[in-house]
Amino acid sequence: MNLNDLGPLMVRRQDGRLSFDRFRADPALAAVEWPDDVLQDFLFEHGDHGPFVDDYGHLDLSAVTWTLETIPAPDFHTMPTGESEAGLIEHFAQNPVYWASVKGPEVARHWEDHGTWRRAPLLIDRRLLNPSDSGLQVLEGRTRVGVLRGRLREQLHVAPEHQAWVGRQALLVDTKSSDTSMP
């Protein structure tokens, strides 16, 4: 299953007929067992956004598993985003205080107090992409990563590590190999 397979679901979401709870419960998503934060940021909010579909439309959604991981701040310094929105992270990094503030006073205050974001961005293992590569890529959360880069560059308070949802190839379990009996 990929983003194009979810077209009818996306149309219903665009029409405003689906709350996130109803979206999440739709049978079309039965093969996708993702955390709510990932499902909301990836599919509900961006699943039909043109540049997003251009970059990630080929992904087999049911073959991606998500874990909340701790990532060192320097790892975000050169992390790319999708080709369709290349340069967007650096755009946000040019004025990190402004971009944090437009998200609301609580977001700006959280950056000042904690040196990190309030909601974990989504990163994807680049081995899942076409063309494949190594490392991680910012899938969703370009503003957050831009603010982080800008704050680092301007020597503002930044935590040494940050939480992020990371999508990786789902591991297949071989049920035949779990049999330890001898013939």
Q: What is the pLDDT of residue 172?
A: 58
Q: How far is it, in rounded angstroms, from Cα 110 to Cα 57?
A: 33
In this predicted structure, the answer to whether residue 4 has a pLDDT above a threshold of 90 is no
Q: What is the pLDDT of residue 18?
A: 84
Q: If you average pLDDT over residues 68-96, what whole number do you get? A: 96
The tokens for 86 are: 């290349």
Q: What is the pLDDT of residue 179?
A: 46
Question: Structural domain boundaries of the chain?
Answer: 3-171
pTM comes to 0.89
User: Could you read off the pLDDT of 137-183 as tens digits, one per residue?
Assistant: 999 999 999 999 999 999 999 999 999 999 999 875 544 444 444 44
Q: Which of 119, 150, 144 is nearest to 40 (CA)?
A: 119
Yes or no: say if 4 and 54 are a contact pair by the CB < 8 Å rule: no
> Pick the residue with more confidence: 156 or 32?
156
- The residue with tokens 């007929």 is 17
Residue 132: CB atoms within 10 A of its CB come to 9
